[in-house]
Chains A and B, each alone.
Chain A
Amino acid sequence: MATRAQKFISFYIGDQQYALPIMYGNKFIEFNRLTAIPQVDKDILGLIYQGGNIITILDIKRILKIKSLNQNIQQICLMFEVDDYHYGILVDQGGETISANRTFTDRQKKIFKKYIKTKDKAKVYILEPDDILAQINIL
């Protein structure tokens, strides 16, 4: 039985490559002005307005507990849409679209366990939008 290939958008946080499943509303955008929101979860950096939509910017480094000293020179985020809400995760660099026939599971990890392998056998962990939102306390 032929399996259908799953497509992902790759991006980099530091030197590590991650992947987000392709869905409606995926887009890389660049922004300058971020409006901070008071008394919200620290994983929510703020809001931006882009293309007629209000986008909630999430601090994916904090969510993934990555201690990176690199400060983002360019504010680049990868947009995704869940239940008609637009979200954006801050990334260091955009990547390519990847097709993968198979996903793997890293049982040692508690969250973001799934990963795919590139042609050079490198692990690229998959950041599912629901998993990301599950880590955030959004009222």
Chain B
Amino acid sequence: MKVFETKIYIRFISWFVVVSVLPIASLFIAVYFFNPELFNSVFSQASNTRTTISFATFISLALVLLLSLIATKLLTKSVTKPIQVSMTELSKVVDDLFKSIQNLSELSQNNSELSQFLITSSKTQKKGLKSGTKAVSGIASSLNQIAQKTKLAAKKTTSVDQLAAQSGQKSKDALDSLVIVKQLLTQNQKLSQALNQYAKDVKSVASGVVALAETAKFISLNVSIEASKSSFSEDFSSLVAQIRELNVTSEQAAGAIGGIASDMQRQIEQGRDSADYQKQETDKTTEVVGQTIDFLRKITANAAQVSKSVQAINKETQETKEDSKNISTVIKSLDKEAKSLVTQVGTVTQVINQQLVITRSLNRSSAALNSVTKTLNDLVGEK
């Protein structure tokens, strides 16, 4: 049997020994001071009494020690066992508490990181929502402008359609006029050719007159020579003068007729060239106008189609505009939600901070419990 299993045993035994020794020692001290003779008679002289008393004291002390051991054994069984059981339980609880605190600490750390992430995320989200709001505003503005422009385009397309139809009619009229002009130019060309022939005839007459003038000139010269030869030169002088006058007049007439014929022919040729040029230009213009009419017909056909397309675009733009308004509303509500989320995150952060404070407090409590457990363990545990 282990007598000294725990410190409490030793304490109990010590107390019993002290309790048992102290009355005997007090008795001996009282006898020594109050009756020294008796004390000396008993302990100074060798005698049977001293031996008997010593033996009886020793026996009594031994008996007290034995009894104290038995009492201690009984007492410790009834006292230390529940404490030990409690300590074991307490130790388990402390361990669990420590683990829980560690888990709680880790959880708090994770929550803190999550909270930071949520704050960052919510800030980014807020920025994104602002950008989204601006973008949606831009889209709405652009759609407004597109809608206005498509309305204008629709109006203009209608105008183009009407103008194309009017232009088609006008082009037809122009084509008819050009055909008439072409006919007139043909007649003008014929007239020009006839006039040209007349001019040639006049020129031929002029050349005849020129020849006549030359002949008159030679006659004039030769008559003057003959007049000079004869003795009747005075009589010839008036004839020579008349012939010279005829010569001069013929030359002037020939010159004038030739000039007129040349001018006439030149003007006729210019007129003919102009008529030819105009005819060519009219032909070209007729061709161009014909192509323009075909083109305008195509434009008219396309303009109607474009008008329909523009109207469809206008309708789609209106719908998109409404959708953009809805998106804007959704973004606004998301913005509110984001603000609320930020507020909630703040609250969560506060809770996490409180949790951290509690964790630290629990840590301190756990440390204190550990200390108590250690003390108890020291008290009731094995030596």
Contact = CB atoms under 8 A, between A and B. Distances in A.
Interface in A5-57: 7, 9, 22, 24, 26-30
B228 A22 contact: yes
B229 interface: yes
Contact of A28 (B218, B227, B228, B229): B218
Interface string B219-242: 001101101110000000000000
A84 interface: no
A85 to B, nearest CB: 19
A12 B280 CA distance: 53
Contacts of B276: none
B269 interface: no
Contacts, number: 32
A105 interface: no
A7 B217 contact: no
B227 to A, nearest CB: 7
Contacts of A29: 218
A28 B218 CA distance: 6
Contact of B224 (A24, A30, A97): A97
A28 B222 contact: yes
Contacts of B217: 94
B225 A26 contact: yes
Contact of B218 (A7, A30, A95): A30
Name, among B214, B221, B227, B228, the residue most crowded by chain A CB atoms within 10 Å (CB to CB): B221
A-side interface size class = 10 to 19
Interface string A67-85: 0000000100000000000
Contacts of B218: 28-30, 94
Given A27-B222, A28-B221, A7 B214 contact: no
B228 A94 contact: no
Contacts of B224: 96-97
B225 A27 contact: yes
B182 to A, nearest CB: 45
A7 B230 CA distance: 11
A99 B222 CA distance: 16
A97 B225 CA distance: 6
Contacts of B229: 7, 22, 24, 26
Interface in A85-109: 94-97, 99
Contacts of A9: 221, 225, 228
Interface in B1-48: none
Contact of B228 (A7, A27, A30, A74): A7
Contacts of A27: 222, 225
Nearest to B229: A22
Nearest to A27: B222
Nearest to B215: A30
Contacts of B222: 27-28
Contacts of B227: 97
Contacts of A96: 221, 224
Contacts of B225: 9, 22, 26-28, 97
Given A7-B228, A97-B228, A30 B214 contact: yes
A17 to B, nearest CB: 14
Nearest to A11: B221
Contacts of A30: 214, 218
A4 to B, nearest CB: 12
Interface in B234-271: none
Contacts of B214: 30, 74
Contacts of A7: 228-229
A124 to B, nearest CB: 15
Contacts of A95: 221
Interface string B199-220: 0000000000000001001100
Nearest to B240: A97
A-B complex: 4 closest residue pairs judged by Cβ atoms: A97-B228, A94-B221, A28-B221, A7-B228
20 contacts: A7-B228, A7-B229, A9-B221, A9-B225, A9-B228, A22-B225, A22-B228, A22-B229, A24-B229, A26-B225, A27-B222, A27-B225, A29-B218, A94-B217, A95-B221, A96-B221, A96-B224, A97-B225, A97-B227, A97-B228
Interface of A: 7, 9, 22, 24, 26-30, 74, 94-97, 99
Given A74-B214, A97-B228, A99-B228, 12 more contacts: A7-B228, A9-B225, A9-B228, A24-B229, A28-B221, A28-B222, A28-B225, A29-B218, A94-B218, A96-B224, A97-B225, A97-B227
